[in-house]
Amino acid sequence: MATLDDVTRFPDAKQARAYLGLVPTEYSSGERQQRGRINKAGPNRARYLLVEAAWSILRRRSPATADLYRWATAIRERRGTKIAVVALARKLAGILFAMWRDATDFKPSAPQPSKP
């Protein structure tokens, strides 16, 4: 909250994620669109904490973060661990922004029963 200062400063979560430096850089010319690494613009500390939170979710399975874990694991299988961690950090930034904007608490979805 201290990093973003005021919730009304950003129109949506996408702008907040860009401010935190969690969006890919873009090398585009003409019709070709190529994306690179995250741009790392903005405050380092907030980005660092979001990435550490993402690592924590991937390392420690918890019922509260089961959906996020499954989502990141699917990305990890396709693209690799580091990309999955940054993607999860970006998603966490969006979730935290929405919680702050709407003044709500984090409500994880109920775990789905496994099928026999």
Digit-coded pLDDT (tens) for 5-27:
676 778 788 878 887 888 777 78
Average pLDDT, the chain: 81
pLDDT digits (tens, 9 = 90+) for 46-85: 888 889 999 999 998 888 888 889 989 999 999 999 999 9
Angle, helices 81-102 vs 66-79, to 10°: value is 150
For position 24, what pLDDT does the model report? Answer: 78
Phi-psi region of 24 (alpha: psi -120 to 50; beta: other; left: phi over 0): beta
Instruction: Judge contact between 105 and 29, C-beta under 8 A.
Output: no
For position 78, what pLDDT does the model report? Answer: 94
Phi, psi at residue 50, to the nearest 5°?
-65, -40
Q: Which residue has the higher pLDDT, 36 or 81?
A: 81
